[in-house]
Amino acid sequence: MTKRKSSGSERETINQQESRIYHPTDNDGLQPNSQEHPYMVSRSEVPSEITGLNRSESGAPAKRARQSDGSVVEVLSGITRSLHVRPAEKIRCDMPDDGPPCVRCRRRDLSCVLSRNLQSLLEDIKNTELIQSDVRNMHEALTAVCQQLELERPKPLVSMAGSGQGAGRNNPEPVVQGTGDDNMDENCEISPPQSPNAVQAPIDTFLDIAKLGNHKSTGTGHNRNTSRSESKDDLVSKGIITIEVAERLVENYFSRLDHYLYGIGGPPQPASKLRITSPILFGAICTVSALHDPHGSKLYVSCNRALRSLVSKSLFEKRDVEYIRALCISSFWLTDASRIFSSDAIRRAGDMRLHRSFEYLMGLRSTSIGSPSSLSTPTELADRVQLWYLLFICDQHLSILHNRDSLVRSDNEIAVSWESYLHRAEATESDVRILSQVSLLLIMGQVRDVLGSNNDMPLPHALCSQIMSFSRQLDKWFNRFSALFTTNAYIGEFPRRGLQLHYQFGKLYLGHQVFKGLHGQAIPAHLLTAAGMAHEAATAIFEKFLIEPELQQDLVGMPHYFHIMIAFAGHFLLEIWRNYHQQLSFKLENEFTLMDTVLTLFRNTPCIPQHPVSRMTGGLTRKMLDCAESLGMQNAINKGPGLSMPCSTGMSQNSQTVNIQAACQPPLGMVTEDLMQLPPEELFLSDLGEFNFPDLASHFTT
């Protein structure tokens, strides 16, 4: 007993000399501060030789402890450990020799045994960081070599995403990718790495010189094709939609909507795979699908907001072909941001040299030249060519709708040589439909260049023959492609009906030019034929929906170019009725009845308030009622319970009781909250001016 007391007093003396003392609680054992000393050895892990010999052998020499277990475990330097010497004590361990025994155990001639579990974890983290640093350096070197040889860049190191944790406080290297602004800059594309053209451009020389002057610019920066957090930013992981809703939206898109856009979405993929391979494409497909869901108003608002956020965050980042595909799909259907999506896609396609795929596919460029396009299979090259053609089509559509010059030149080899692509043995139904649009838009581009779309001057007499020449070109175009179109397995006869609508759109676009600069004056005699052609085309567009009622189903599915051209045709007819019905000699009553019937069909089309059909129907209805009142043709309109004529013209526009409830409200059972959030001017068709398409400030076509 005396010996034990002496031993206890000796421990107390040693504890007072240590820098930290842990006092026992009233219960069994101590409660140490785990934050200050995270590495503790439990009593069960320490051999009995350390915790004390058998009570019956308390006087035995301490040398037995060294003989029972001589294993010594290597530990990190500078880290203290605590030995559980007694159930009621925790004592700090100092190991100045980078390993056991500690100072106290050496003084007492005890064996020093530590737990290896936590120590191994630290060592594994350190080794993993070193390996990651080595792999990243190898990847950057390989990327620099591929860039110099104009080969396809290696895929990004997905294992490095989100690995910015784990670096020790006392070990600043290796520096692993984090989430700070400095690392964000590495994904930025300050300028295109190469000129889109085959001939060396001044920017190429500058970039080569800059590489020689800055060693760090060789393998970093624009070489990373995807963002570190891209795979985590899809609509499902952000909680915007569930995976079940995503599966339904993706299924609806690939089973129907994608075929209105010539199947550009590629082979159908499940949402679970698509959200991993391309979150941007996944977001675009979900947003477009929600736009066409009659009950998806709130869903569309959420998806559209998330898609814009993803695109805006990726503005300065390098992306792949699937990203361009997502922008292309968004451009054709999402009216409010179509120009932004299209211009970004065209810029990226130029940097990627997407147009060169046509040269490789047609054998116009040797495949021995190192290039990503030259290393692609014929199927991949054909897909890239189709994607370029769709970007060209979308750009030409927006050029027509916004009265602006196109961004893509019409004299590119890939554009003017569309016939050689059509005559390929591997040409598909989608190729025929796509190239029919390319051929038509080349004609309409010539109309814009020759007749002018920006000036508001009357057409000179010398251009009369040119107008008729363009009209004959449109006739030949329609006769040629109408014989090539077939029934689609997914959307039926819409390709043929769409071809007929595009033909009338072309006639309307050509004929409406003769009204420029007239300001309500009589049509010159030499332009009467062209004016009559425009009137007949606009009327035929509305008659098409009565002759073929199946087009009503296609209204919610076709790209927004159709809706805006239909809206322009309606506005054109209203202005013709108001100013030129006598000179052109047609019956106003029949014309009003036609438009009223078609607008009723539009109102009965199930769609969300944000859909272009809903937005244009209300505006056309209001303008039709105003025009009918000014011409005294109120009786020609079938005033149902949802329509009422305006009050007297002496009242202000805001006080007129124009009840267009049937035109502006969605069908029963649909969400109307988002409709009330839309600005009032978006519920009506913007004023298109005097036979001109809306400018860039138009709310309807922004």
CA separation for the pair 351, 347 (Å, rounded): 6
Count how many domains the chain has.
Answer: 3
The C-alpha angle with vertex 510 and arms to 504 and 513, in degrees rounded to 5, equals 135
Query: How far is C-alpha 85 from the chain's CA centre?
Result: 62
**Whole-number pLDDT of residue 595:** 95
Decide if 510 is inside a domain: yes
Decide if 361 is inside a domain: no
- Over range 652-663, report the average pLDDT: 33
CA separation for the pair 538, 87 (Å, rounded): 95
Total residue length of the chain: 702
What are the respective helix, strand and coil percentages of the chain, to the nearest 5? 55, 0, 40
Position with higher pLDDT, 103 vs 74? 103
CA separation for the pair 625, 653 (Å, rounded): 13
Position with higher pLDDT, 419 vs 171? 419
Position with higher pLDDT, 578 vs 4? 578
- Alpha helices (H) along 512-640: 528-547, 551-555, 560-584, 588-603, 612-631
Nearest CA to 563 out of 515, 618, 511 is that of: 618
Residue 1 predicted with pLDDT over 60: no
Look at the alpha carbons of 371, 372, 376, 378 in this order and tell me if their dihedral is positive or negative: negative
**What are the C-alpha distances in Å from 702 to residues 210, 258, 672, 694?**
40, 23, 23, 9
Contact at 8 Å (CB) between 249 and 286? yes
Phi, psi of 249 (to 5 degrees): -65, -45
**Whole-number pLDDT of residue 22:** 40
Decide if 242 is inside a domain: yes
- Over range 388-416, report the average pLDDT: 92
**Whole-number pLDDT of residue 33:** 43
CA separation for the pair 439, 435 (Å, rounded): 6
Strand partners, 317: 188
Q: pLDDT over 70 for what percent of the chain?
A: 64
**What are the C-alpha distances in Å from 568 to residues 103, 215, 425, 537, 677?**
91, 56, 39, 12, 25
- Comparing 103-117, 190-204, 502-516, the range with the smallest average pLDDT is 190-204
**Whole-number pLDDT of residue 156:** 79
Decide if 197 is inside a domain: no
Domain end call among 115, 138, 165: 115
B/e letters for 435-469, b = 16+ CB within 10 Å, e = fewer, are bbbbbbbbbbbebbeebebeeeeebeeebbeebee
Look at the alpha carbons of 13, 14, 19, 20 in this order and tell me if their dihedral is positive or negative: negative
What count of Cα atoms within 13 Å lies in the side-chain half-sphere of residue 461?
3
The C-alpha angle with vertex 447 and arms to 445 and 451, in degrees rounded to 5, equals 130
Q: Residues with Cβ < 8 Å from 281, sequence gap 6 or more?
A: 265, 274, 322, 323, 325, 326, 329
Q: Residues with Cβ < 8 Å from 595, sequence gap 6 or more?
A: 542, 570, 573, 620, 624
Q: Counting beta carbons within 10 angstroms of the beta carbon of residue 82, is it exposed (0 to 12), middle (13 to 18) or buried (19 or more)?
A: buried
Q: Is the peptide bond before 612 cis (omega within 30 degrees of 0)?
A: no
Contact at 8 Å (CB) between 103 and 92? no
Residue 500 predicted with pLDDT over 70: yes
Q: Are residues 645 and 526 in the same domain?
A: yes
Domain end call among 63, 91, 115: 115
Decide if 28 is inside a domain: yes
- Residue that is written with structure tokens 């609509």 in the block: 235
Tokens of 445: 């581009």
Strand partners, 171: none
Domain end call among 92, 115, 138: 115
Q: pLDDT over 90 for what percent of the chain?
A: 42
The C-alpha angle with vertex 331 and arms to 443 and 281, in degrees rounded to 5, equals 135
The C-alpha angle with vertex 13 and arms to 2 and 1, in degrees rounded to 5, equals 10
**Whole-number pLDDT of residue 187:** 46
Beta carbons within 10 angstroms of residue 368's beta carbon: 7
**Whole-number pLDDT of residue 295:** 93
Q: Counting beta carbons within 10 angstroms of the beta carbon of residue 496, is it exposed (0 to 12), middle (13 to 18) or buried (19 or more)?
A: middle
Contact at 8 Å (CB) between 306 and 286? no
Nearest CA to 222 out of 195, 246, 198, 190 is that of: 190
Contact at 8 Å (CB) between 559 and 617? no
Residue 114 predicted with pLDDT over 60: yes
Q: Are residues 246 and 111 in the same domain?
A: no
Beta carbons within 10 angstroms of residue 9's beta carbon: 10
Tell me the residue type at 663.
A
- Comparing 173-187, 338-352, 388-402, 511-525, the range with the smallest average pLDDT is 173-187
Contact at 8 Å (CB) between 257 and 289? yes
Strand partners, 82: 40, 92
Decide if 84 is inside a domain: yes
Look at the alpha carbons of 393, 394, 399, 405 in this order and tell me if their dihedral is positive or negative: negative
Where does the pLDDT of residue 31 fall: very low under 50, low under 70, confident under 90, or very high at 90 and above?
A: very low
Residue 379 predicted with pLDDT over 50: yes
**Whole-number pLDDT of residue 136:** 86
- Alpha helices (H) along 483-559: 494-511, 528-547, 551-555
What count of Cα atoms within 13 Å lies in the side-chain half-sphere of residue 611?
32
**Whole-number pLDDT of residue 92:** 66
Residue 173 predicted with pLDDT over 50: no
Q: Are residues 103 and 239 in the same domain?
A: no
Decide if 168 is inside a domain: no
CA separation for the pair 270, 510 (Å, rounded): 44
CA terminus-to-terminus distance, the chain: 94
Residue 325 predicted with pLDDT over 80: yes
Decide if 401 is inside a domain: no
Q: Residues with Cβ < 8 Å from 622, sequence gap 6 or more?
A: 658, 660, 663, 684, 685
- Comparing 10-19, 168-177, 350-359, 478-487, the range with the smallest average pLDDT is 168-177
**Whole-number pLDDT of residue 90:** 57
Contact at 8 Å (CB) between 689 and 513? no
pLDDT digit string, tens, across residues 258-304: 999 999 998 999 999 999 999 999 999 999 999 999 999 999 999 99
Contact at 8 Å (CB) between 330 and 398? no
**Whole-number pLDDT of residue 119:** 58
Q: Are residues 510 and 656 in the same domain?
A: yes
Residue ranges of E strands in 76-208: 81-83, 91-93
Pairing label, strands 91-93, 81-83: antiparallel
**DSSP label at 81?**
E
Residue 113 predicted with pLDDT over 80: no
State which residues form the domain around 104.
Answer: 22-115
- Comparing 128-132, 463-467, 564-568, 661-665, the range with the smallest average pLDDT is 661-665
**Whole-number pLDDT of residue 151:** 74
Q: What is the mean pLDDT of the chain?
A: 74
Where does the pLDDT of residue 171 fall: very low under 50, low under 70, confident under 90, or very high at 90 and above?
A: very low
Q: Are residues 338 and 467 in the same domain?
A: no
**Whole-number pLDDT of residue 639:** 54
Q: Residues with Cβ < 8 Å from 70, sequence gap 6 or more?
A: 111
Position with higher pLDDT, 56 vs 436? 436
Q: Are residues 632 and 501 in the same domain?
A: yes
Nearest CA to 439 out of 419, 453, 469, 423 is that of: 419
Mapped onto helix, strand or coil, the DSSP state of residue 317 is strand
